[in-house]
Amino acid sequence: MPSLSSKLKVSLEVALALFAIATASANTTDTTDDAPQQPTIVDYTTSEAGNPFVDGWYADPDTAIYQGLYWVFPTSSYPYEEQTYLDAFSSPDLVHWTKYPNILTTQDVTWAKKAVWAPAPAFRNGKYYIYFGANDIQEGEPEQGVIGGIGVAVADSPQGPYVDAIGKPLIGTYNNSAQPIDQDVFIDDDGQAYIYYGGHGHANVAKLKEDMISFDTFEDGTTFKEITPNNYVEGPQMLKRNGKYYLMWSEGGWTGPDYAVSYAMADSPLGPFYQVDGTRILQQDAAVAKGSGHNGVIHVPGTDIYYIVYHRRPLSEDAGEHRVLCYDRMYFSEDGSIQPVKMLVKDNFDDGDMVGWKTYGGELDPHVVDNKLEVKSDTEDGIIVALDANFTVQTYDATIILSDSSNDVTTSAGLVFRVTDVTSGPSGAKGYYAGLSTAGRVLITILGGDGTTVFVEGVDIKAGIEYHVRVSATEDGVNVFVDDFESPVLVLSDTTYTQGTNGVAVFNTEAKFDNVTIAEAT
C-alpha cells in the first residue's frame, strides 16, 4: 500500500503535468494540432502490446497529434506500381489502432501514377495537409517531360479524403542533386513552416509560405538550401526540443539489413549541424529485426516522453518491401543528446491481437481473448506460436495460466526458446521447451534430437492460477524459475542450441499467456 507521502507526490506530479499541458498549447510546433483536445499521456518502454503495432506491410511512418489522438501516416510497402494509395492509423493510447484505408489515392492526384511515398502530415489554418512523393522520378527525367516528385494534398479532417492542392508537383525537379522524395514538414515556434526532403544522398530545406503550397526564399534569394550531413541517404525528420533542432535521417540501403537512423543537432532549423557525421541511434539487432530506419517521432505533449516510430524488416523476411511499423521509446541524455534506441521485445496482448506471432503445427487456431493469448492443442504433438526473433543469451518472462486440471503428464504448456526449424511445430523443431503440467511437473524438453526431457515432480501447479515463468538461458544452460526469481525450480546444463526464436507451446491441453518480455542477458 502506498504511503500518504507517495500519494501526495503522485497528485503533485499529475498537477504539474496538467500545468505543462496548459502552457504547452500557446504555440504548437511541428505537426501538432492547435485543437484543445490533448491526447492521453502514455508512458511505455516500447510498444508493450507488441511490435509491429499494426498489421500489414508499411514503411516510412510520420506522425501527428490531431483531435486528441495519435496519428501515423505510412507508405504502403508494395512494388512501386502497386503503391497507388495511402492508409492512415489513429490511436488514443498507442495500443488500440483504427485504420483509415485510402486516405489519398492516385485517383485524386492526376499526375501521380505509382510510388506514393512517405506521407508527411501538417495542420494549418484549419486544414490538414499531406505531403507525399510520387512516381520516383530520376535525375534528368523532369527535363524530358517526366512528371513526378513531391506533391501536396489537403483535407478537412485528418483521415481525409485528401485531394491534390495544386494539380501538379510542389517540387518536380532535382535541385542540389536531391531527388524530390521523402519530405518532412516542420512548423517552428515562430510559425515558419519548413520542408525538409531529399533522396539520392542529398537533403534540402525550403521555407513554405503561410499558404503551405508555395515557397519563400532565403535571404540570399535561393529557395532550396542544401543541408546534407555525411552518410545521409534519405528520410529526413526535424524535431525541436528545448530550443535545439535535431535533424534525423536514414543511412544505408532501404532494401538491406543495415538501414539505420542517425541525427545531428543545431541551434537553427537551417543548421549548421554540430556533428556532421551524425550519431547513429537506431539500427538492426541480430536478435530482433533488420533494416530499422526511416523514422518519425511522437512527442507526448506536456511531457518529456518521446517515441521513435520507424519501419523494420522481420528477421526471416528478405523481400525489400516486407517492412512493418514499430515504435520504441526514445530517451534524451541531460546534455540533450539522443541515446541509442534499444528495440525491445514485449507483448501484453492488450491490443487484442497477436500481430507478429505465427502458428506452427496443431489444428486449432490460437486467439487473443481478454488480452491474453489463448492456445489450445488436442494432441501430444502440440502446437507452437512463435515470434520472429533470434535471441542467444536471454531472459524470457511470461505469465502462464493453465486452463484444465489433469493428472496426465502429456499435458503441459510453456515457453520455447532458441528454436529453429519450427515450420512443422514441436515435432520437427530444434530448441528448448520449458513447461508446466497440472500433473505436478515443471519440465524442460530438448526439442529435436532424442527429445530428452528433465523434470521435477510434485510441484503444486493448478489450473486457473497465474504463474510467472522466467527462463534464463545462459552460455552454460537453462534455468527455469516459477514465481520465485531467486532460486530456479529446474536447471539443465546443456548447450545443444545457442540461438533461435521464442514462442509458447501447448501439448494436449489449453493455456493462456500474458506479459511476454524477452531481453538479451548482459
- Per CB under 6 A, 399 contacts ligand NAG: yes
Strands (E), 34-93: 58-66, 69-76, 85-91
Instruction: Quote the cell numbers at residue 273.
Output: 549541424
Report the alpha-carbon distance of residue 411 to residue 447 in Å, rounded: 16
Query: In the window 265-324, what residues touch ligand NAG (CB under 6 A)?
Result: 286, 315
User: Rounded to the nearest whole angstrom, what is the least distance from the CB of residue 368 to ligand NAG in the complex?
Assistant: 13
8: phi then psi, degrees, rounded to nearest 5: -60, -40
Q: Establish whether 48 is a catalytic residue.
A: no
Give CA separation, 255 vs 77, 258, 290, 358, 521, in Å.
11, 9, 10, 23, 30
Burial (CB count <10 Å: 0-12, 13-18, 19+), residue 74: buried
Report the alpha-carbon distance of residue 317 to residue 289 in Å, rounded: 9
User: Rounded to the nearest whole angstrom, what is the least distance from the CB of residue 225 to ligand NAG in the complex?
Assistant: 10
Cα of first residue to Cα of last residue in the chain, in angstroms, is 33
Q: Establish whether 33 is a catalytic residue.
A: no
Of 43, 81, 190, 450, the residue at the interface with ligand NAG (CB under 6 A) is: 190
Residue 49 or 489 having the CB closest to ligand NAG: 49
User: Rounded to the nearest whole angstrom, what is the least distance from the CB of residue 197 to ligand NAG in the complex?
Assistant: 13
Query: In the window 314-373, what residues touch ligand NAG (CB under 6 A)?
Result: 315, 348
User: Rounded to the nearest whole angstrom, what is the least distance from the CB of residue 111 to ligand NAG in the complex?
Assistant: 17
The residue among 295, 312, 307 whose CA lies nearest residue 261 is 295
Report the alpha-carbon distance of residue 143 to residue 364 in Å, rounded: 59
- Per CB under 6 A, 25 contacts ligand NAG: no
Instruction: Quote the cell numbers at residue 109.
Output: 492526384
Any idea what the Cα angle at residue 159 is, between residues 154 and 165, rounded to 5°? 10
Residue 410: count of CB within 10 angstroms of its CB: 13
Residue 69 or 193 having the CB closest to ligand NAG: 193
The catalytically annotated residue of 48, 60, 251, 285 is 60
Residue 177 or 452 having the CB closest to ligand NAG: 177
Total of residues contacting ligand NAG (CB under 6 A): 19
User: Rounded to the nearest whole angstrom, what is the least distance from the CB of residue 268 to ligand NAG in the complex?
Assistant: 16
Residue 67 or 515 having the CB closest to ligand NAG: 515
Query: In the window 224-243, what residues touch ligand NAG (CB under 6 A)?
Result: 224
Active site residues: 60, 234
Residues that bind ligand NAG (CB under 6 A): 26-27, 173, 175, 189-191, 223-224, 286, 315, 348, 390, 392, 399, 466, 499, 514-515
